[in-house]
Amino acid sequence: MSKRAEQVAIIGGGIAGPVAALALRKAGLKATVYESYPSTADGLGGTIALAPNGMAALEIVGAAEAVRAVAEPAHRQVMAIGGKRVPMPALAGVEPYQVVRRADLYRILHDRATAEGITIEHGRRLTEAREEGDRVTAVFADGSTATADVLVGADGVQSTVRRLIDPDAPGPSYTGMLAFEGVSAFEVPEEPGTMTFAFGKRGYYIYWPAVGGGTTFGVNVPHPRPLTIKEARAVPVREWMATLLGVYGEDAPGGDLLRHLPPEKLQVSGALYIMPPVPHWYRGRLVLVGDAVHAPSNSSGQGASLAIESAIELARCLRDREVPEAFATYERTRRGRVERIAARAAKINHAKTPGPVARALMSAIMPIFLELAMKPEKTFGPEQRYRIDWPATA
């Protein structure tokens, strides 16, 4: 006979997993996080931009202030193409995007979870899940097991839990791009807090003044096949630098940013993926959250924020409803929102690598487009003003 969950096993210790554990604890449930990596993610990963709605969600689990303390607020956004720079319309009355290093966000969430008495076990790679009545047992590669009322798959785009729920579920789609970041010694003449989205001659890149001097930048380059971080970092860094200069070397300031970056300072982040719509978000006692079920393109500016929101909404539903109904309510609450945002980001992606004719047209019409067609309240209002009503019954 079904009942409300009391114990939850969470697979994945990135972003959604610890947030779900914190929200579940706030809801009065016990959660344990199982992470496949043998240690924490100190020093790994590039930067993440957390939207106002994501920061509001972090307030619920008490992590927002710690994030703000280490983040760089992006107060102003500019689009640059063909020598023109046009300020992007801003949404009034919301806090700026907070740009934080992924490793810092992981550390904050890990420390917050530990402080709340939540157990995070490392080196626990899930291989199987066995359901018996109202319980589910996770089986790990080392032969150990863990039994709970619910198993949450917060294990990213390559999710094992997604395959256990539905062996025919779609996997992540490779965008055809590899991601790189760095902090260059080259100084751009921009006010602090200004994030510039630049369309170069052969590719798209983003940059902003770094706290303490220099310029932080991120670039995406085409690659015929996806590479894991391990595979991408096995390539000599000087080869990647030559590739990047071949794409961005003629751009200003793209070429200068690269030429003033020591090769050993290049951050190689691996392949970029998006998740197509997933038919089944849950089955039995298993449910998905975060990138395991929705990973929009980084063009959305919402990937991490949506993962945080979904983790908290899942906890709210498990707090208020028995398991089958909780899962159904969670999916009904979240699916439409995440798929709308993913669809918007997909349209933006088509404009990231325009050819010469398209670039000329974009340069001519961009100011008019930004002033007239791009209504920030209509475009971003529903996304960034969204708030989870934690006290309300799910």
Q: Domain boundaries in the chain?
A: 7-72+98-172+275-349, 173-273
User: Which residues, given as ranges, of the chain have pLDDT below 50?
Assistant: 1, 350-355, 357-362, 365, 372-373
What pLDDT does 183 receive? 95
* Whole-structure pTM value: 0.92
Q: Answer whether 21's CB lies under 8 Å from 33's CB.
A: yes
What pLDDT does 348 receive? 61
Q: Under DSSP, is residue 138 helix (H, G, I), strand (E, B) or coil?
A: strand
pLDDT in tens, 99-156: 999 999 999 999 999 999 999 999 999 999 999 999 999 999 999 999 999 999 999 9
Element (H, E) at 374: none
**Complete DSSP assignment for 239-269:** HHHHHHHHHHTTSTTHHHHHHTS-GGG-EEE
What pLDDT does 374 receive? 64
What pLDDT does 39 receive? 77
What pLDDT does 42 receive? 58
Q: Answer whether 222's CB lies under 8 Å from 177's CB.
A: yes
pLDDT in tens, 172-219: 999 889 999 999 999 999 999 999 999 888 888 999 999 889 999 999
Range 7-72+98-172+275-349 has CATH code 3.90.950.20: no
CATH pick for 173-273 out of 3.40.190.10, 3.40.50.300, 3.20.20.10, 3.30.9.30: 3.30.9.30
Taking the C-alpha atoms of residue 276 and residue 156, their distance in angstroms, rounded to an integer, is 13
What pLDDT does 301 receive? 86
